[in-house]
Structure 1
Amino acid sequence: MSRTSTSTLRLLLLAGALLAGSSPALADLRMCNTTGSRVGVAIGYRDAQGWTTEGWWNIAPRACETLLRGTLAARFYYVHAVDYDRGGEWTGKSVMCTRNKEFTIRGIEDCLARGYERAGFFEVDTGEQKSWTIQLTDTTGGAPARP
């Protein structure tokens, strides 16, 4: 998977409970791709057994996918996303393990020594909500917004 960081991709975070038309009683971590490109998404989180990274969810343009079902177990989730059509990525300072194909990886240490790749993930603070939706956008300018 080729990755570049030349595009001016930005993200917009929204609380799933605040989205118009969202179902009440659902508790999930969702990702909405508001761009005109196909994106691949990997997530990282810490649970009772330690750190886990999972991927890839392929999300069509202007579509949403549920990444984790049920009440969120953590306050912070970490996301790395790749724009398949135009290049570029959504990345951050938290380094975690990934692979080029579907994966679930336990632990974030020694990625290369264990045969994995290293990628930067951006942090999403859910504010301890029971559900959350992350929206990826390709707008330029301005800092990421939070509810």
Structure 2
Amino acid sequence: MILQQLPITPRLARAIALAGVFCLGLALPAPANAELKLCNSTASRIGVAIGYKDKDGWVSEGWWNVDSQSCALLIQDKLRARFYYVYAFDYDKGGEWGGAIAMCTNDVEFTIKGIDNCDGRGFKKSGFFEVDTQEQTDWTVKLTDQSETAPAAPTAASGAPPAADAPAQAAAASAPGQRRR
């Protein structure tokens, strides 16, 4: 059997070129995930709030409810800042993970612009701990029970630089990632 050669029309040439581009797209690697994630390694359900500085100033957001032994995606985008701030509390056993950085929170879901005069604006002032992402685009924070050992995030006390324009210090801090009662 003799195969006849098909004439290459402009329409067929475009279809072949588009098929090649499509196949090339399938061969390229998918973009890497960029995110700030928090993992709850405790036996309790926890509530989590974060703070960060955006182009307009300081922002705090909450609440993410994170079940025991699970993770929550706090920021689903390339991390744009080196320093983020976390505050969490244990719904089941009490206690909290906090630090020396004062930011505003609320009892219900919130996004709060600014960190000044929390009480005067109808919010609570909570102490957040600093997370140094070391300018990575993807970072995971792990919260543990007090009896567990968690790697400590760098802090000014351990020799890492403090965040530029960091918010004011709050009351006594606990070790980052470990529950304080």
User: Do these two structures clear the TM 0.5 threshold for a shared fold by scoring above it?
Assistant: yes
What is aligned with 2:49? 42
Q: What secondary structure does 2:33 align onto?
A: coil
Q: TM-score, normalised by structure 2?
A: 0.65
> After the TM superposition, which residues 45-64 of structure 1 pair with which residues of structure 2 at under 5 Å, given as runs?
45-64=52-71
Q: Distance in 2 between matches of 1:117 and 1:146?
A: 25
Aligned counterpart for 1:116 among listed residues 120, 123, 126: 123
**Which has the larger Rg?**
2
After TM superposition, give the deviation of residue 47 of structure 1 in Å: 1.1
Q: 1:65 aligns with which of 62, 72, 76?
A: 72
What is the Cα deviation at residue 143 of structure 1? Answer: 6.9
Distance 1:55 1:139 in 2: 23
Partners of 1:141 and 1:32 in 2: how far apart? 14
Where does residue 29 of structure 1 map in the other structure? 36
Q: What is the distance in 2 between the residues matched to 1:85 and 1:110?
A: 30
Deviations 1:51-81 (A, max 9, x none): 0000000000000110111100110000000
Q: CA-to-partner distance for each residue in 1:82-123, whole Å, 9 max, x for gaps?
A: 001111000100000000000000000010111100000000
Q: CA 1:135–1:24 in structure 2 vs 1: closer, same or farther (change >3 Å)?
A: farther
Aligned pair count? 125
**Which letter does structure 2 place at the counterpart of 1:76?**
F
| From 134, 138, 143, the counterpart of 2:145 | 138
Q: Which structure ranks higher in relative contact order (CA pairs < 8 Å, sequence separation ≥ 6)?
A: 1
In the superposition, the TM-score normalised over structure 1's length comes to 0.80
Q: Secondary structure at the match of 2:121?
A: coil
Q: Give the share of equivalent positions with the same residue, in percent.
A: 57
RMSD: 1.9
Query: 1:36 is paired with a residue of what secondary structure?
Result: coil
Structure 2: any 5+ residue segments left out of the alignment? 1-29, 155-181
**CA-CA distance at 1:139 after TM superposition:** 3.9
More strand by share: 1
- Gaps spanning 5+ residues in structure 1: where? 1-22
What secondary structure sits across from 2:119 in the alignment? Answer: coil
Secondary structure in structure 2 of the residue aligned to 1:113: helix
CA contact (8 A) 2:88 2:97 kept: yes
- Alignment of 1:107 with 2:114, yes or no, is yes
